[in-house]
Amino acid sequence: MRWMHLALVCVLAALPAQAGWAAQITIGLAAAPTSADPHFHVLAANNMLSGHVFSSLLRADNNLRLQPDLAESWALEGGNTWRMQLRSGVTFHDGSPFTARDVV
């Protein structure tokens, strides 16, 4: 569990300093994650940690209904094409803008 705390602190330390940001964050999980990399292993503990650190196009609420996250709205066009309106003003950790090309 200690390595998870260290990994999370390293991720947060890489973010630009902002006034009012906490120096430490504590997240309670039912089990210790095996990785903070969302592509490493698809395990419940890893997914729970990723949900606190990374954004996605959509999120599921407590009733498993889709809610907006990086996509503000979405609509099915045709049989297998989705059109999503992306949230504006979103940037990556390095300051580069989030665009439709990143989704594709």
Is the Cβ–Cβ distance between 72 and 86 less than 8 Å?
A: yes
Render pLDDT for 10-33 as a digit per residue (tens, 0 to 9): 555 555 555 566 678 788 888 888
pTM: predicted TM-score of the whole model, two decimal places = 0.63
At residue 13, the pLDDT reads 57
At residue 30, the pLDDT reads 87
Is the Cβ–Cβ distance between 96 and 77 less than 8 Å?
A: no
Render pLDDT for 41-75 as a digit per residue (tens, 0 to 9): 888 888 888 888 889 999 999 999 999 999 999 99
Render pLDDT for 33-42 as a digit per residue (tens, 0 to 9): 898 887 888 8
Residue 103: count of CB within 10 angstroms of its CB: 11
